[in-house]
């Protein structure tokens, strides 16, 4: 019983640390970028997207961003978002490698929604 408590406590500490790290490393000023026309790029799967998403966001799963040709305008500003924040970082880096210069990490869907609400 004591071992289970230690394992659960350790997992909780790791999770809280991870969430704090992710929240602190979100790009700032995202709400202003959205107001200026930035496109929210939701890189979750279509079934995840259907469970809930930010209004007017575009759903392109991370796996599709590996394609040679994308139907995205390199002159637009994009904010990547996913369920936990890991795929959004990968998507941001992948797009930057492909020549997209105005790409920002929105992190997890809940984090981006929180950041947008906080800045209002």
pTM of the predicted protein model:
0.76
At 77 the pLDDT is: 96
Per-position DSSP letters for 14-79, written without gaps between them:
HHHHHHHHHHHTSPS-HHHHHHTTPEEEE-S-HHHHHT---TT-EE--GGGGGSSS-S--TTS-EE
| Alpha carbon distances (Å) from 22 to 4, 17, 43, 98 | 27, 9, 17, 24
Tens digits of residue pLDDT in 3-51: 988 888 888 887 776 666 656 556 677 888 988 999 999 999 999 999 9
Alpha-carbon 78 to chain mean position: 11
CB 82 within 8 A of CB 70: no
Phi and psi, residue 114, nearest 5°: -65, -45
Query: pLDDT per residue over 55-100, tens digit each?
Result: 899 999 999 998 888 889 999 999 999 998 889 999 999 999 999 9
CA 79 to chain centre: 7
């Amino acid at each position: 019983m004591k071992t289970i408590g230690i394992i659960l406590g350790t997992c909780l500490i790791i999770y809280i640390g991870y969430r704090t790290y992710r929240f602190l490393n979100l790009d700032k000023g995202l709400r202003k970028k959205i107001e200026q026309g930035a496109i929210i790029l939701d890189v979750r799967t279509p079934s995840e997207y259907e469970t809930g998403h930010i209004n007017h966001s575009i759903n392109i799963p991370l796996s599709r961003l590996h394609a040679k040709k994308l139907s995205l305008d390199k002159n637009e500003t994009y904010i990547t978002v996913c369920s936990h924040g890991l795929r959004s970082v990968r998507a941001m880096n992948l797009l930057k490698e492909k020549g997209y210069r105005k790409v920002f990490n929105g992190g997890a869907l809940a984090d981006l929604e929180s950041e947008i609400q906080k800045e209002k």
